[in-house]
Amino acid sequence: MLTRWLRKILPGKPEAAATYSHKQVLPQNEHGITPDGISYAAEKVVSRLQQAGFEAYVVGGAVRDLLLGIEPKDFDVATNARPEEVRKVFRRSRIIGRRFQIVHVMVGPETIEVTTFRGGSRPARQNEHGRIMQDNSYGSMEQDAARRDFTCNALYYNPARGEITDFHHGVADIRAKRLVMIGDARARYQEDPVRMLRAARLSGKLGFQVAPDTAAPIAECLHLLPKEPLARLFDEVMKLLFSGAAIDCLKQMQALGMDGQSVHPLLACALERLPENQGRGMVALALNSTDSRLRADQGVSVGFVLAAVLWPQVREAWQRAQSSGLRTMPALSAAVAETRAHMEKGWGVPHRFTASMREIWQLQPQFEHRRSARPFRLLAQPRFRAAYDFLLLRARAGEVEQGIADWWTAFQEADEEQRKQMIQAAEQRPDSGDAPAKKRRRRRKKKTGAADKGAAE
């Protein structure tokens, strides 16, 4: 109890303290957010921490989205309680993270991420490039706000009082649709290079204009991104591709001078094919479809989307292999193996995604075959549905005849007798994808002559 009381009157070291003359506390009638917009789990975590004598607020993207009229996907909480103190308040919780220690609190099916206010003007330990390697220094809410990335993410909402605390004009920037880095942008990108990708994603997704001072250092700091851990970089790429506005985010990357090759090979593939056929290519069609599904709160498959992003590369390798004399299936297998070899050289793509991508690709030639029992065998494949959806995309992109896609659509909806009739009709057409089956001629047994018989004896 004494430690907690001392922390309230001495939130940080004297030398780390800072003054914020523009601190604003906005009541509910000025910002319009009501406690009803906060999830039950987030409200419970905040109220329990406050009842235990700590400060606690809903913070970051959830507050930003509520101000924009967007329903938040998740809620984060910031508090002056240390991780081990949060852990004592909530039985269903765990401390995670090496670089930043945070607490995951489980409330029903929902997980709330709880972070302790960070202190100090600089992180505890950085490498030679300025990247934060370890940062478990704690401080006050004001110091924590200064350590956040963009002004729109440095807002603290107290559901009990209905107030937003704003230290960096974040509310004004949100209303002006402006993305502004807190502090010196160049130094902040050096601390965490992933912030450059975050700038492209947030501005593309929210339709914000990146402030000139925030955008200017990006081109000269791009070389820092490949030095990031692969898993973290891949995770940020996934957030961009599955943001619900992937095309806009990729365009923002281009506008900010971020060429994909300097960031991640997956983004390079996406950016290279983006203008193809005025947005009617595989990549644009797949990303637009994914955006629509995410906006409609429908499920999406990571493996499917990545398969579409990399398909132009696989298709070109497939065509090269066929030109060299390989038949259809061996040529495709060679193309898939070539693409996998590239991915395994530092792309950070988990095996579970590469496996589904490979299966989707390798089933594509089988849609050309509509004779005998082959359609039934293809229909029974575990990845049939994903491969069929992929076929529909290829048809929309003009890679395969629409008639083939329509045939498979009808085949799925038909009953057993209708399917047999469809196969019989396909066998009568020369364009069914299979060469007519050749009848095997039975070999006649040679008659053994008298001379041969004698020789045998």
Residues 197-240: tens digit of each pLDDT: 999 999 999 999 999 999 999 999 999 998 898 889 999 999 99
Active site residue 144: no
335 and 420 both lie in a single domain:
yes
Domain C-terminal end among 176, 198, 218: 176
- Residues 210 and 347 placed together within one structural domain of the fold: no
- Asked if residue 302 and residue 213 are part of one domain, the reply reads no
In a domain, 204, yes or no: yes
Same domain, 172 and 187: no
Domain holding 316, by residue range, is 294-428
172 and 247 inside one domain: no
pLDDT of 107 reads 96
Q: Is residue 312 part of a domain?
A: yes
Dihedral over Cα of 108, 112, 116, 117: its sign: negative
Same domain for 357 and 251: no
**Per the domain annotation, does 221 fall within a domain?**
yes
Instruction: Residue 237: give its domain's CATH number.
Output: 1.10.3090.10
68, part of any domain: yes
Long-range contacts of the stretch 65-72 (C-beta < 8 A, 24+):
66/33, 66/37, 66/157, 67/31, 67/32, 67/33, 67/155, 67/171, 67/174, 67/175, 68/174, 68/206, 71/37, 72/37, 72/39
pLDDT at residue 58, as a whole number: 98
Q: Which of 129, 150, 176 is the last residue of a domain?
A: 176
- Supply the DSSP symbol for 118: B
Whether residue 406 lies in the annotated active site: no
Q: What is the pLDDT, as a whole number, of residue 1? A: 45
* Buried-state track 117-129, b at ≥16 Cβ within 10 A, e below 16: bbbbeebeeeeee
Least confident of 132-146, 288-302, 337-351, 384-398: 132-146
Does residue 154 sit in the same domain as residue 109? yes
Burial of 68 (0-12, 13-18, 19+ CB in 10 A): middle
Which residue of the set 65, 76, 144, 291 is catalytic? 76
Asked if 104 and 229 sit in the same domain, the reply is no
Angle among Cα 152, 17, 210 to the nearest 5 degrees reads: 20
The pLDDT > 70 percentage for the chain reads 85
> Catalytic: 291?
no
Boundary-marking domain end, from 176, 206, 241: 176
Residue 432 belongs to what H/E stretch? none
Q: Residue 70's domain is classified under what CATH number? A: 3.30.460.10
166 and 44 co-located in one domain: yes
Query: Which of these is catalytic: 65, 135, 144, 149?
Result: 149
**Residue 187 and residue 170 share a domain:** no
Q: Are residues 298 and 272 in the same domain?
A: no
Q: Is residue 452 part of a domain?
A: no
The verdict on residue 9 lying in a domain is: no
Separation CA 197–CA 237 (nearest Å): 8
Number of structural domains (the chain) is 3
Percentage above 90 pLDDT, the chain: 74
34 and 65 in one domain?
Answer: yes
Residue 94 has pLDDT above 80, yes or no: yes
Q: Which residue has the tokens 């478990």?
A: 136
Per-residue confidence (pLDDT) for residue 446, from 0 to 100 = 56
With respect to residue 282, please indicate whether it lies within any of the assigned structural domains: no
